[in-house]
């Protein structure tokens, strides 16, 4: 079955999803979008071969699946504006951080299937990771379709409790920024040792990329992969002992806890508006 897909808001994340869908075989005629930024419409249409609308109602009314890709603080007013054209058989997928399923269901008015997602920015280069949770109106076939859609630009995990989405944010949604910061520090440290910026950037980033590839492609325990390159009294051991002495474990644990805590606070702020 070929579903009609609409995107309300077509920014970076929507573009990543559309690009993934198109690469996985969806034709442009199956996808529409809506955005108030009229000046961007022509470029989006030419890039993806889709049709763009100014009025969200025009896009939503013809869709089987609707991706909600607007900023969280705008989502309620946007949804309430097109709620009059919502159908019982539609599936809505939100990428707005912090907006809970209950709020989405209330704004949509009708008892429709809703999936809340937390993708991350590597989706822009086809390496995204997304956390997903569905309401009880969402069928198994709809969940399967959503999973395939998110896998078209990376991978996904499902969680069963909505509170777990805060941990998803901490471990995945915000995590690329942690790794960018680590790379910044490594690059500066390499430059201090006499290498130029471009060489340091390439060495550090490919090491990080390669390590991630090993974890995702090999069945080995992560601790074992670490031990495999840690010779007794060698260079790697010296570096790791320094990281441990400086408190890498409590540091990252505190950072992840702080991220999850702030995610929960933001969710409560949106819920109380």
Query: With b meaning 16 or more CB within 10 Å and e meaning fewer, what string describes 18-54?
Result: bbbbbeeebeeebbbbbbeeeeebeebeeebebbbbe
Q: Would you state the structure tokens that stand for residue 58, as one six-digit string?
A: 């025009």
d(CA 53, CA 253): 45
- 233 annotated as a binding-site residue: no
For residue 84, say whether it is annotated as part of any ligand binding site: no
* Contact in structure between 138 and 113 (CB atoms under 8 Å): yes
C-alpha to C-alpha distance for 15 and 123, rounded to whole angstroms? 9
Q: Find out whether 9 and 70 touch, Cβ atoms under 8 Å.
A: yes
**8 A C-beta contact, residue 13 and residue 129:** no
CB atoms < 10 A from the CB of 114, how many?
A: 27
- Measured between alpha carbons, how far is 118 from 101 in angstroms, rounded to an integer? 13
Cα(90)–Cα(137) distance, integer angstroms? 10
- C-alpha distances (whole Å) from 83 to each of 52, 87, 133, 250 are 19, 9, 22, 46
Structure tokens at 126: 């086809």
**Residue 123, SS3?**
helix
Binding residue positions for NADPH: 56
Binding residue positions: 35, 56
Binding residue positions for NADP(+): 35
């Amino acid at each position: 079955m070929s579903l009609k897909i609409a995107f309300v808001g077509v920014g970076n994340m929507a573009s990543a999803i559309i690009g993934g869908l198109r690469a996985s075989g969806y034709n442009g005629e199956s996808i529409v979008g809506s955005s108030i930024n009229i000046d961007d419409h022509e470029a989006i249409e030419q890039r993806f071969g889709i049709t763009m609308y100014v009025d969200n109602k025009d896009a939503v009314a013809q869709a089987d699946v609707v991706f909600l890709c607007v900023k969280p603080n705008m989502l309620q007013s946007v949804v309430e504006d097109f709620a009059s054209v919502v159908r019982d058989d539609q599936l809505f997928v939100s990428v707005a951080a912090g907006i809970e399923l209950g709020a989405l269901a209330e704004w949509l008015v009708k008892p429709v299937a809703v999936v809340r997602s937390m993708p991350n920015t590597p989706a822009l280069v086809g390496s995204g990771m997304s956390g997903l949770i569905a309401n009880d109106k969402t069928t198994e076939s709809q969940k399967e379709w959503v999973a395939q859609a998110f896998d078209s630009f990376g991978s996904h995990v499902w969680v069963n409790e909505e509170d777990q989405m805060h941990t998803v944010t901490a471990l995945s949604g915000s995590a690329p920024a942690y790794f960018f910061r680590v790379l910044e520090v490594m690059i500066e440290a390499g430059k201090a040792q006499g290498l130029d910026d471009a060489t340091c950037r390439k060495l550090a980033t490919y090491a990080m990329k390669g390590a991630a590839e090993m974890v995702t492609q090999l069945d080995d325990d992560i601790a074992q992969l670490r031990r495999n390159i840690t010779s007794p009294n060698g260079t790697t051991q010296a570096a790791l002992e320094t990281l441990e002495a400086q408190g890498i474990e409590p540091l990252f644990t505190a950072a992840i806890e702080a991220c999850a805590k702030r995610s929960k606070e933001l969710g409560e702020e949106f819920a109380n508006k």
